[in-house]
Structure 1
Amino acid sequence: MLGRKLHKGDTIGIVAPAGIGKSDRIEKGIDKLKSLGFNVRLGKHVYDKWGYFAGEDKHRAEDIMGMFEDDKVNMILCVRGGYGAARLFPYLNFNKIKKHPKIFMGYSDITILLNAFYDKTDLITFHGPMLGDLDNEDTLSSIILTLCEGDKKYEIKNPESISMLSNTDRYAEGRIAGGNLTLICSTLGTPYEIDTRNKILFIEEVEEPPYKIDRMLAQLAMANKLQQCEGFILGHFTDCVDEDKESFFTLNQVLEQYIMSLNKPTLVNFMAGHDSPKLVLPIGAKARINGKNRLVEIMEPVVK
């Protein structure tokens, strides 16, 4: 199920499903969207504060549902991640989302919504930049390529100045799943557990030392989630180092033990996650890892 592709003059709805956004970043992001030719509609509770959340759970969920049901809104963009999206499920109505398909984009804590929306409604969602991430030109180009021109097959590759690595010249096909590693693991044993069967699993992380990456990948391996994949896309692992313990395993050694040892086609250093640029990945879309040319081929439209 696809949302309608984005055109200049369309309305982008802004929601805050998780942590509290900074007012100046929100305003800056709104100004950027307007400068690109889009209209903006703010959720009623975007500026709310409740503990460490951007408003009460039911209010944050109401903003999301309101944007899906508002036929004047063409796309839903999240303010930020942090923590809190998982608390919204009791208040979300997947049947209503299915009746009003539209573009929904975010990353980090939003990972859990991206995958659940696809799994429960077949709606292609988008792992990509949020409201405060619109300054980078390569990021903006990826938004245009995906959301404005993605009604046909296309390719995703790193900017020319940033190399992407591959462990093989082979190909792997499957639907894209995944996002932030911590959030992927948090779904295990719940009704929203990630399904990796015959999927291409995308993983990124931020500020977690290698031993914590190890623990999370071990959990996924014990749940047979890594073995079920057709291939992997490894994005940003921002500040995932432990500089004080040089004798410990490095991040690359951990990834070698859990990912590379499976001998599945894997792209490394794909520009998506908590660093810049942030390339947009369509969650649920049929894709192919092209190891020889070091790119991702999107094999079907992701918007209509």
Structure 2
Amino acid sequence: MPRFIAGRIVSGVVLLFLISLLSFMLLSIPGANVGRELLGAAATQEAVDAKNAELGLDRPVVVQYGDWLGHALRGDLGTSWFTSEDVYQALSNRLPVTFSLVLGVAVVTTVVSFLLGVWAGLRRGGAVDRVVQIVGVLGHALPGFLVTLVMVQVFAVQMNWFPAIGYTPFTESPSGWLSTITLPVLSLSIGAIAGVSQQVRGAVADTMRQDYVRTLRARGLPPHRVVLRHVLRNASAPGLSVLGMQFVGLLGGAVLVEQIFALPGIGSMAITYTTRGDIPVIMAIVMFTVVGVVLINLLVDILIGWLNPKARAA
């Protein structure tokens, strides 16, 4: 198991390096226009060139990347070119919002998906099984933004159960935080629940047909013990794999949701600074996102390796 984890960590570090290099190269293509964006159309070419030199944009891209990487490894993410704000501080102010969203979706999706999937898999053809299959089809067929807009119209505008926009920090009001985060979490969770519950349902149904499960039940083991100690352990790996992929897609969906609900998170920040071409901020957001993806995949791989030792050799 330690070698398995070490291999996944090394793969994650290599992925971080490659994505950071590729992202920096792509972002640096229009770098000569930054000085003009900062100084305005009325600025002289000499002033624009001087500003680009001040930012280091007159150097080769490889040298710029090496300088950025060296500072990033020391924890220095630089300052915004447009606001002069410390990038780390700017991210720190917005991370709790996005973290609340991601954590809420993770909890809701995991709990609901496995409960529905296991129940449907154990009672194939029943009411819950039919509901899971219908939700699965609708979850994949309906666009996420449409589901979000419908939820806002119904639960925020018509019923007035939740606020339509805005965010209340947990430290200010736990109840206010829960109220502002509920609709965004539910809107992101529906599609994820549809995919994961379907996968868990199929895995549980297949496992229940295995010979060793029939043998355990024939020996008189209590049904709940068979399900919890044997069926669920062997059926969890496919569900966890899909769950990990759903969380990766969630990071992209969070951008749209934060825009719709006016949440001051990293997603809305990414849109604002990308349109400006603010490379220090964009690179920081990219790396935080990739680190999140790597950690999620690492956690999923560890859980799958623990549940299924054969997966460690893959």
More strand by share: 1
TM over 0.5: no
Higher relative contact order (CA 8 A, sep 6+): 2
Q: Name which one, 1 or 2, has greater alpha-carbon Rg.
A: 2
TM-score, normalised to structure 1's length? 0.24
TM-score, normalised to structure 2's length? 0.24
More helix by share: 2
